[in-house]
Amino acid sequence: MVKLNLYQKFIRYIAIILWAISLFAMLGWLFHIEIFTQVYLGLPTMKFNTAFCFFLLACVIFCTQGRHCFKISEVLNILLLILATVTLVQYIGHFDLGIDQLVVQDERGIATGNPTPGRMSMATSLCFIFMSISLVLIRSNSDKAKKVAAYFSVSVILLSFFAITAFIYNIPTFDKIRFISSMAIHTAISFFMAGLAVSLIIPRFGMTELFTSKRIGSFMIRRLFFQLLVATLLLSYIILYCFRKGYFAADFSIAMVAVVLIFATLILLLIVSRGINRIDTEKRAAEEELHVIHMYLNATPNPLIVVNKQGIIELSNSLMVDIFGYSEEELKGRAITSLIPERFHSVHKQHLERYFEHINSIEQQEKNTRVLR
């Protein structure tokens, strides 16, 4: 059984959540359970076709984690792309092909005089198209294609985040940008999760790399971004609440937002800079320690190498370099078995395993001794 890494588990969990949301929404339409389609009275509903598209999207996302259902996922993704594209074309061409109420009728939409009852919003159809294209491009061997896929998924995340923010701030529908005014809150949340899932399928590409990389810049972004995001949303909400209650005038509220954001950014920058300085100090100390170790290794009259538990060369001295003809950089990261005749590989592996078992037993004994004391 293949062991899943953290990203793969997260992606599968998202797919399962999307399945649940879409199934509940479809059941809501079939059995007239409004809470499954609307979540909260007065909010836009997740249309049946939207729920069906999310079901397809969840299937495709789930199948990206294995090869056994590759063909099925391709077919489902094509179906998703066709349905979303036809919906968008209906908006652009101002006509109705009858697919919006093919399974169930949007009685509420008809009663309220909606000119396109049962139809997902234009933003929703566009997000599905972006998701579908992304899921096609991530299978490509081209890095450029994967970068495009990453930016498509980020676009979906941004659109859905805008809709979620409008809901959190309780902005009336008529005040929103019309393009996303009819996107249901659970539709926006589902797109946000789907965008994250697709981004994590290709974590080394696009903006996702900035968050997933182990470099110092990525460390800074991880520390700064989420704290700044929470601080911005919370403080903006408080200021907006005070404005609505009449405590602040409009111009003063805008000035307050600017001042608070600057202040919050400065505080977070100070926190992050301290963390980076600590990492830099530790790095310098490690480099100095490594330099001392190199000096000792090169001072010995015998060729020496240092390997880790996996048998990968970490360090070597100058005599070792002279014997094998490799530079120190070339030796580092190589398996030690590459320097040993093949007939001795199995024996060496056994010796290495016994050695580390012995070291581990000594460490365990010392640990037990400290506990007893």
Per-residue pLDDT of the chain in tens (373 residues, 90 and over written 9):
344 578 888 999 999 999 999 999 999 999 989 888 887 777 788 999 999 999 999 999 998 876 677 788 899 999 999 999 999 999 999 999 999 999 999 888 888 888 889 999 889 999 999 999 999 999 888 889 999 999 999 999 998 998 888 888 877 654 445 555 568 889 999 999 999 999 999 888 888 887 887 777 777 777 778 877 888 888 888 888 888 888 878 777 778 777 777 777 777 777 777 777 777 788 888 888 878 877 877 777 788 888 887 888 888 887 877 777 777 778 888 888 888 888 888 888 888 888 888 888 887 777 766 655 5
pLDDT at 253: 76
Kindly state the tokens that stand for 205: 């590409």
For position 67, what pLDDT does the model report? 66
The position carrying tokens 């409008």 is: 166
Residue 29: what pLDDT? 93
Cα–Cα distances in angstroms (integers) from residue 211 to residues 6, 100, 226, 255, in the given order: 14, 39, 10, 31
The candidate with the shortest Cα–Cα distance to 103, out of 51, 170, 171, 147, is 51
Look up tokens 């005070």; give the residue: 242
N-term to C-term CA, the chain: 43
Residue 49 has a pLDDT of: 95
Q: What is the pLDDT of residue 50?
A: 95
* Domain locations in the chain as residue ranges: 1-105+117-206, 214-299, 303-371
Cβ proximity of 107 and 75 under 8 Å: no
